């Protein structure tokens, strides 16, 4: 009987635990997590917006651990791994032996080195349920919110709080909102929607300093323009960093992220890593995928993890839905095709006859194939005229054996 230990109960950790259980019905599986409860960070805004409670943002069944006979040790952060003795240490004086270990510690929010921001007790991230709880509490004391960053995380927080009557200011260094997922037009659509809900945007502007009270709380943010913006608390949504401390403290190779090979093995024997802590991607589907591959490799099914295509996302704010895939900025030699109606906007960027970027705003039904076309560099030079009318029928194939579809390109 083998002992599997997983550090982290996010997308990668939970998927690994479940995959291990499916393939190894009798082995011991333990999940240690800093988080008190399993939750999907992609649903934190539903919690903060008081649409759902903590169980409502759990992405597994309430009895997941019992049902799968997996031991969950919540609220414990692993302090050190002894990779020679194959032991993890947590809490005051606890240890747990393993035969195979998975590090799936995720990523944490990042606070840029702006004076007072790193020390102030009223600066929060928006990554974990504990962050949402802290923001909820702060919101009870004051409703003027300053958000740094207008990516998906910043806008998630804004959408949740504006419905609750917050007075929100969002500072974005880039000249448009959601700079990674949008172009100028798509950004303007979302910006208007947020402004209609009472949010104020400061674009191309950063926070450069702060005024603090006697307890170190930031009471005013000083912008790069010199303007002072009074606030009750601050939400940092200016990017994340892989959580690598555990690797650094245990002699496991890491730079910006934990170093893994194509089998998701770390530099230490029998220690694997998956999810955001590997820096391979930062989106939920890829973390789940890595959890699955890590589990396979942990039990000796040698499966190479295929490099993910990291530039992809969907967004849905106030019922405005968008799909963005690939690079949306214009690079040399690229060709832009666009189509716009009052309710829909589509944009395709072709480079050498291949789709390198795709954006669709409005109804995004049936658009999954565009991710496939970008990721696989499918030659579309003969189909340019119909780029917005493509469907799987253009590549239609059937696997006669099992009846599944198969691409013909």
Partner 1 sequence: MKRIFIDPSKCDGCKNCSVACMEAHRRDGGSGVCTLDLTDPANVSRNRIVTDGRGGYDPIFCRHCDVPDCAGACMSGALKKNQTTGLVEYDEEKCAACFMCVMSCRYGVPAVSADRKRMIKCDFCVHLEEGPACVRACPKKAIEVREV
Taking CA atoms, 182 is separated from 70, 230, 377, 404, in Å, by 41, 29, 21, 34
Q: Does residue 365 bind partner 1 (CB under 8 A)?
A: yes
Secondary structure (3-state) at 121: coil
Between residue 22 and residue 61, which ones bind partner 1 under the rule CB under 8 A?
22, 40, 42-43, 46, 57-61
Q: How far apart are CA 391 and CA 405, in angstroms?
A: 13
User: Residues in contact with partner 1, total (CB under 8 A)?
Assistant: 47
CA 121 to chain centre: 24
* 388 counts as binding partner 1 under rule CB under 8 A: no
- Binding span for partner 1 by CB under 8 A among 192-200, 203-211, 247-255, 358-366: 358-366
Stretch that binds partner 1, among 28-36, 132-140, 159-167, 361-369 (CB under 8 A): 361-369
Indicate the pairing of strand 100-103 with strand 271-273: parallel
250 close to 268: Cβ distance less than 8 angstroms:
yes
Instruction: Identify which of residues 259 and 314 has a Cβ nearer to partner 1 in the complex.
Output: 314
The rounded distance, in Å, linking the Cα atoms of 258 and 310 is 17
Minimum CB separation of residue 130 from partner 1 in Å reads 18
- For residue 305, the minimal CB distance to partner 1 (Å) is 13
Q: Which residues contact 321 (CB under 8 A, 6 or more apart)?
A: 314, 315, 361, 362, 363, 364
d(CA 37, CA 40): 10
- Residue 96, classed as helix, strand or coil, is strand
* Binding test (CB under 8 A) with partner 1, winner from 75, 91, 204, 368: 368
The set of residues, in sequence order, having a beta carbon less than 8 Å from that of 1 and lying 6+ positions away, is 26, 27, 28
In contact, 34 and 77? CB cutoff 8 Å: yes
d(CA 199, CA 170): 7
For residue 364, state whether it binds partner 1 (rule: CB under 8 A): yes
Phi, psi of 21 (to 5 degrees): -65, -40
**Which is closer to partner 1, CB of 90 or CB of 370?**
370
CB of 391 to partner 1, least distance (A): 5
Candidates 28-36, 78-86, 143-151, 281-289: pick the segment binding partner 1 (CB under 8 A): 281-289
Q: One symbol per residue from 282 to 321: x for binding partner 1 (CB under 8 A), - otherwise; what is it? A: -xxx--xx--x-------------------xxx-x--xxx
Which residue, 215 or 404, has its beta carbon nearer to partner 1? Answer: 404
Question: Which residue in 89, 110, 372, 388 binds partner 1 (CB under 8 A)?
Answer: 372
Q: Are 256 and 278 in contact (CB under 8 A)?
A: no
Task: State which residue, 251 or 377, has the beta carbon closest to partner 1.
Answer: 377
- Between CA 164 and CA 48 the distance in angstroms is 9
343 binds partner 1 (CB under 8 A): no
What x/- string results for residues 54 through 93 when contact with partner 1 is judged by CB under 8 A? ---xxxxx--------------------------------
Rounded to the nearest whole angstrom, what is the least distance from the CB of residue 378 to partner 1 in the complex? Answer: 11
Q: Give the nearest distance from C-beta 37 to partner 1 in angstroms.
A: 14
Shortest distance in whole angstroms from residue 120 CB to partner 1: 31
175 binds partner 1 (CB under 8 A): no
| Strand pairing report for 312-317 and 345-351 | unpaired
141 vs 401, beta carbon nearer partner 1: 401
DSSP 14-29: HHHHHHHHHH-TTSEE
What's the Rg (C-alpha) of the chain? 23
User: Which one of 67-75, 246-254, 255-263, 386-394 is the stretch in contact with partner 1 (CB under 8 A)?
Assistant: 386-394
- Residue number, 133 or 320, with CB nearest to partner 1: 320
**Which position among 1, 84, 302, 393 is part of the footprint of partner 1 (CB under 8 A)?**
393
Residue 72 near residue 85 (C-beta atoms within 8 A): no
> What are the strands, taking DSSP E only, across 225-282?
228-230, 233-236, 240-242, 271-273
Give the nearest distance from C-beta 267 to partner 1 in angstroms. 28
Asked if 173 touches partner 1 (CB under 8 A), the answer is no
**Residue 65 or 370: which CB sits closer to partner 1?**
370
By CB under 8 A, name the binding residues for partner 1: 11, 22, 40, 42-43, 46, 57-61, 283-285, 288-289, 292, 312-314, 316, 319-321, 323, 325, 363-372, 391-394, 396, 398, 402-405, 407
């Amino acid at each position: 009987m083998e002992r599997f230990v997983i550090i982290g109960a996010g997308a990668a950790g939970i998927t690994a635990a479940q995959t291990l259980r499916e393939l190894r019905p009798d082995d011991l599986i333990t999940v240690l997590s800093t988080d008190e409860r399993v939750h999907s960070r992609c649903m934190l805004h539903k919690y903060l917006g008081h649409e759902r409670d903590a169980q409502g943002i759990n992405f597994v069944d309430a009895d997941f651990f019992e049902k799968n006979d997996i031991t969950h040790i919540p609220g414990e952060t692993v302090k050190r791994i002894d990779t020679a003795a194959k032991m993890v240490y947590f809490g005051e004086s606890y240890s747990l032996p393993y035969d195979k270990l998975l590090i799936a510690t995720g990523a944490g929010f990042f606070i840029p080195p702006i004076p007072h921001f790193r020390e102030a007790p009223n600066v929060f991230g928006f990554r974990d349920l504990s962050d949402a709880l802290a923001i909820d509490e702060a919101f009870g004391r004051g409703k003027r919110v300053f958000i740094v960053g207008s990516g998906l995380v910043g806008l998630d927080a804004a959408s949740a709080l504006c419905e609750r009557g917050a007075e929100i200011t969002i500072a974005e260094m880039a000249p448009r909102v959601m700079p990674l997922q949008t172009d100028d037009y798509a950004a303007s659509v979302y910006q208007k929607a947020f402004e209609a809900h009472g949010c104020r945007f400061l674009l191309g502007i950063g926070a450069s300093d702060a005024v603090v009270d006697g307890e170190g709380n930031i009471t005013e943010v000083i912008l790069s323009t010199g303007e002072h913006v009074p606030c009750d608390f601050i939400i940092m949504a200016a990017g994340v960093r892989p959580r690598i401390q555990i690797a650094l403290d245990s002699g496991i190779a890491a730079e910006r992220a934990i170093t893994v090979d194509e089998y998701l093995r770390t530099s230490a024997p029998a220690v694997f890593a998956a999810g955001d802590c590997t820096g391979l991607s930062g989106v939920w589907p890829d973390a789940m995928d890595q959890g699955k591959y890590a589990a396979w490799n942990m039990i000796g099914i040698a499966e190479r993890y295929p490099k993910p295509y990291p530039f992809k996302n969907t967004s849905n704010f106030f019922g405005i839905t968008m799909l963005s895939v690939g690079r949306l900025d214009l690079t040399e030699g690229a060709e832009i095709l666009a189509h716009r109606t009052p309710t829909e906007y589509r944009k395709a960027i072709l480079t050498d006859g291949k789709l390198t970027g795709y954006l669709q705003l409005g109804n995004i039904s049936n658009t999954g194939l565009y991710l496939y076309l970008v990721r696989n560099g499918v030659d579309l030079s003969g189909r340019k005229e119909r780029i917005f009318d493509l469907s799987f029928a253009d590549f239609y194939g059937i696997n006669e054996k099992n009846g599944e579809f198969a691409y013909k390109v």
